């Protein structure tokens, strides 16, 4: 049975649910604070077939970025005074994307490998946190975000397949936080819906 197909002669639609381990690569404003990749990520996708090539659903995820900056000096100004602060800095970004998605599945539904491209539109919750000494600066913001994606499902059995993909999450600037962005590489499994 194929991933994303319509059962012949009936109105029963198929689709899949996938759970995957995500590796995050910071970009843009996110990489201004954290350049190190994230190996702490997880995602869940739900897709219901509209026809043999299109499916719609939603995606959830959680990606944790962390970077320790060694003892260093940071300089700023307040009025006519220059301020220098030295210490070890711990940077964190927690990203929780929530998107409604639509995807296009290429090729024949009966193929073992089913590539896809898709677009998610929704919101991402970002928690950006900086710790220096015993002091914490934390910004929490919901940002409107888009999430284009691409990947493929490799059918392993009648009920499941291996899931490989990549998602680009782009949040848009709010008055609290500059737009954050990152790419996640997704590796996991997909289970067919009946």
Residue 78 engages another protein in binding (rule: CB under 8 A): yes
From 46-54, 64-72, 143-151, 172-180, span contacting another protein (CB under 8 A) = 64-72
Among the listed residues 37, 87, 107, 188, the single contact to another protein using CB under 8 A: 87
Residue 36 engages another protein in binding (rule: CB under 8 A): no
Residue 68 engages another protein in binding (rule: CB under 8 A): yes
From 17-25, 27-35, 66-74, 172-180, span contacting another protein (CB under 8 A) = 66-74
What b/e readout covers 110-134, taking b as 16+ CB neighbours within 10 angstroms?
A: ebeebebebebebebbbebebbbee
Residue 140 engages another protein in binding (rule: CB under 8 A): yes
Contact 183, 5 (CB under 8 A): no
CB atoms within 10 A of CB 143: 22
Residue 175 engages another protein in binding (rule: CB under 8 A): no
Among the listed residues 1, 7, 12, 83, the single contact to another protein using CB under 8 A: 83
Radius of gyration of the chain (CA): 20
Going by the DSSP 8-state scheme, the letter that residue 9 receives in this structure is T
Handedness of CA 165, 166, 172, 176 (dihedral sign): positive
Could you give phi then psi for residue 79, rounded to 5 degrees? 65, -125
Residue 21 engages another protein in binding (rule: CB under 8 A): no
Residue 144 engages another protein in binding (rule: CB under 8 A): no
* Measured distance CA(50)–CA(6) in Å, rounded: 8
Among the listed residues 94, 111, 123, 174, the single contact to another protein using CB under 8 A: 94
| Rounded least distance, CB 131 to another protein, Å | 7
| Rounded least distance, CB 70 to another protein, Å | 10
Half-sphere exposure of 65 (CA within 13 A, CB side): 28
Binding site for another protein (CB under 8 A): 40, 62, 64, 66, 68, 73, 77-78, 80-88, 90, 92, 94, 96, 125, 127, 129, 131-135, 140
């Amino acid at each position: 049975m194929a991933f994303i197909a319509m059962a012949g002669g009936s109105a029963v639609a198929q689709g899949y649910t996938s759970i995957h381990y995500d590796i995050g690569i910071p970009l843009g404003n996110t990489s201004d604070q954290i350049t190190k990749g994230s190996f702490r990520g997880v995602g869940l996708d739900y897709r219901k077939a509209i026809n043999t090539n299109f499916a719609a659903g939603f995606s959830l995820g959680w990606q944790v970025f962390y970077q320790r900056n060694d003892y260093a000096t940071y300089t700023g100004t307040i009025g006519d005074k220059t301020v220098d602060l030295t210490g070890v800095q711990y940077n964190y970004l927690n990203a929780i994307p929530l998107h409604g998605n639509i995807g296009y599945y290429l090729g024949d539904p009966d193929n073992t490998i089913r590539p896809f491209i898709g677009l998610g539109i929704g919101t991402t919750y970002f928690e950006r946190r900086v710790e220096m000494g015993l002091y914490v600066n934390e910004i929490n913001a919901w940002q409107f975000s888009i999430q284009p994606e691409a990947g493929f499902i490799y059918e392993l059995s009648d009920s499941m397949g291996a899931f490989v993909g990549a998602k680009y999450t782009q949040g848009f600037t709010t008055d609290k936080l500059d737009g954050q962005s990152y790419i996640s590489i997704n590796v996991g499994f997909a289970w067919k819906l009946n």
